[in-house]
Amino acid sequence: MPGEMNPRERWGLLLIDEIPDRPPVYPLVTAHAAAVYGCDLTTYVTNGKVMAEAQLAAQRKYGHEGLSVFSEVGIIAEAMGSRYHYRQYDVPILDQPIIDNHNQIEKLQAPDPGSTGRLSVYLDAIDTMYEAAGDILPIFAFIPCSFTTAAGLRGVEEFLMDTVLAPEAAHAILDISLQAAIRFCDACVLAGALPVLVDPLASGSVISRRTYQEFALPYQVKLISYLHRYDLDITLHVCGDTSKMLDLIPQSGADLFSLDQAELPQAVAEMGERVRLVGNLSPSSLLPSSHQVISDCTHRILSQGIPNPKGFVLSTGCEVPIKCQPEKLQALIQVGKQAHYDFQW
């Protein structure tokens, strides 16, 4: 009967290609949890216990089916020496990249997750979440891929120029970024979280298909291949428009792909036999809009995603806005929990 499974059971069946009672409902509630909990963003991204308590408070409020450990995509780059500017009402942004010239690349080292930068914030958050709800709710640790971390180490414009003018240097930065991601993933997995790999700078909104193939995809492949040694199903999330590279995504080895601005029917057609899909209500819909808009959009996404041969998770295309209207998010989740399967995979 629908509703009898707990979230962990529902996800578990999906990930072994069995049909749960309905698709998991997992909008990407990240920094918005701080607004629910009533803390500022600086505290949220620097205190793992606060992050965990905020996530738990948001999950109790909305009833979505997973906890998210995420601050911002620069967390590894910061631990390797780049400086980030903390903001009370928004997530940190890059202030000063660590690499001013290519001679500095060889000095970079993969940081220790337990003692460097804010990496331990993730581990503290996972510990608290796991103790509180790990038997019922999956815990997802959002970890930046090599391309995005490399841009945080070098500076976005400078790194993109390196891919054209100094490709050997770009690959050297990507190599150390990969080592750092592997080390951080190891720590998060051992703490009890499932990795969600995020690579927003590898979006078709930022780079070309060729650049993705040469500088982003190979490092996604290496990281996901490494994580498969844990016998885990790995989610890859790429922000923005990925419509011109959807056919390449399965080559990464990702078991689930969380899409943002690409059309869901196109994703089903191009990768649905190989990859489970996660998505993709536009986050902007959760700002001022009507309940009818949310309901109609969610029903449309469910009708497009549920037939995906490898399975489907109802989510947002990217992070739920910090200033999301709570009733809009509740409407999304309510519609999602009424969904059901009318077929066999």
End-to-end CA distance of the chain: 18
How many other C-beta atoms can be found within 10 angstroms of the C-beta atom of residue 276?
24
Q: DSSP per residue over 169-215, as a string? A: HHHHHHHHHHHHHHHHHHHHHHHT-EEEEE-GGGSTTTS-HHHIIII
**pLDDT for position 345:** 45
Q: What pLDDT, in 10s, does the model give residues 82-92?
A: 999 999 989 99
Q: What pLDDT, in 10s, does the model give residues 67-124?
A: 999 999 999 999 999 999 999 989 999 999 999 999 999 999 999 999 999 999 999 9
Please give the share of the chain, as a percent, with pLDDT higher than 90: 92
Instruction: State in words which class domain 27-283 has.
Output: alpha beta
Distance CA(315)–CA(264), nearest Å, equals 12
